[in-house]
């Protein structure tokens, strides 16, 4: 984030959820005014591809049984090397898919709540199996509406796109890499308001029915929505 701020000469930038050192993958970064809504991405489910090393081989059937046990709401205490307070908390693991297994190394896809530690999950699966385990590699493939398969950009690419714009006046790559902030709320239900209501809403007024042009049909009390 600091590199991107310096590169573009920005006053504000913020990221959508910390990645531990040596972890690769998706890290949404909001620029300037978009930092106000990056919290909508921080608190969304995350998907990881993880390599877990078991300290002793176990049968695949046993590993699959353990994975099934952990695909639920679990207790977790953040590991010693973490940036948050080490208090016990509950996290939900929505999916664990075993992609490949060699007897010692398990390649897994995990969909989970934000703030779930894969390092701790691997350790706990190892304890459950009675053989011990640790995380070898980790890559985040999805963070809220942002996914690895679409729109993933390297810092090097961003730097070259900026150079192209400054030196050649071509902004095609920048427009490809820097998405409109509407993408950050793509996963939320929407309420589209009339032009006549925009000024009042922007100054803190409540939204009333006459100001609504269209909206998602299944909005319930307590839902977070995006107003367009």
Q: Are 43 and 185 in contact (CB under 8 A)?
A: no
- The number of residues making up the chain comes to 228
Candidates 20, 113, 157, 172; catalytic one: 20
Q: Are 138 and 50 in contact (CB under 8 A)?
A: yes
Residue 110, classed as helix, strand or coil, is: strand
Q: Are 64 and 179 in contact (CB under 8 A)?
A: no
Cα–Cα distance, 58 to 70 (Å, whole number): 17
157 is catalytic: no
Which residue from 119, 152, 3, 144 is spatially nearest to 50, judged by alpha carbons?
A: 119
Cα–Cα distance, 61 to 66 (Å, whole number): 9
Using CB atoms within 10 A of its CB, is residue 194 exposed (0-12), middle (13-18) or buried (19+)? exposed
Q: What is the largest CA-CA distance in the chain?
A: 67
Q: Are 107 and 100 in contact (CB under 8 A)?
A: yes
Which residue from 224, 1, 23 is spatially nearest to 110, judged by alpha carbons?
A: 23
Active site residues: 20
């Amino acid at each position: 984030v600091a590199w991107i701020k310096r590169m573009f000469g920005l006053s504000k930038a913020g990221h959508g959820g910390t990645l531990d050192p040596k972890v690769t993958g998706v890290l949404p970064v909001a620029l300037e005014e978009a930092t106000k809504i990056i919290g909508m991405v921080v608190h969304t489910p995350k998907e990881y591809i993880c390599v877990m090393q078991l300290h002793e081989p176990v049968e695949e059937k046993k590993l699959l049984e353990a994975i099934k046990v952990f695909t639920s709401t679990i207790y977790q205490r953040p590991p010693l090397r973490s940036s948050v307070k080490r208090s016990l908390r509950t996290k939900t693991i929505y999916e664990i898919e075993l992609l490949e297994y060699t007897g010692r190394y398990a390649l897994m896809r995990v969909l989970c709540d934000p703030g779930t530690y894969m390092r701790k999950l691997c350790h706990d699966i190892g304890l459950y199996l009675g053989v011990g385990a640790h995380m070898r590699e980790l890559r985040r493939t999805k963070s809220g509406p942002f996914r690895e398969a679409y729109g993933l950009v390297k810092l090097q690419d961003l730097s070259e796109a900026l150079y192209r714009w400054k030196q050649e006046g071509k902004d095609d790559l920048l427009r490809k890499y820097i998405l409109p902030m509407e993408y950050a709320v793509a996963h939320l239900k929407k309420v589209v308001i009339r032009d006549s209501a925009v000024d009042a809403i922007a100054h803190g007024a409540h939204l009333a029915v006459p100001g609504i042009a269209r909206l998602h049909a299944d909005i319930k009390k307590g839902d977070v929505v995006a107003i367009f």
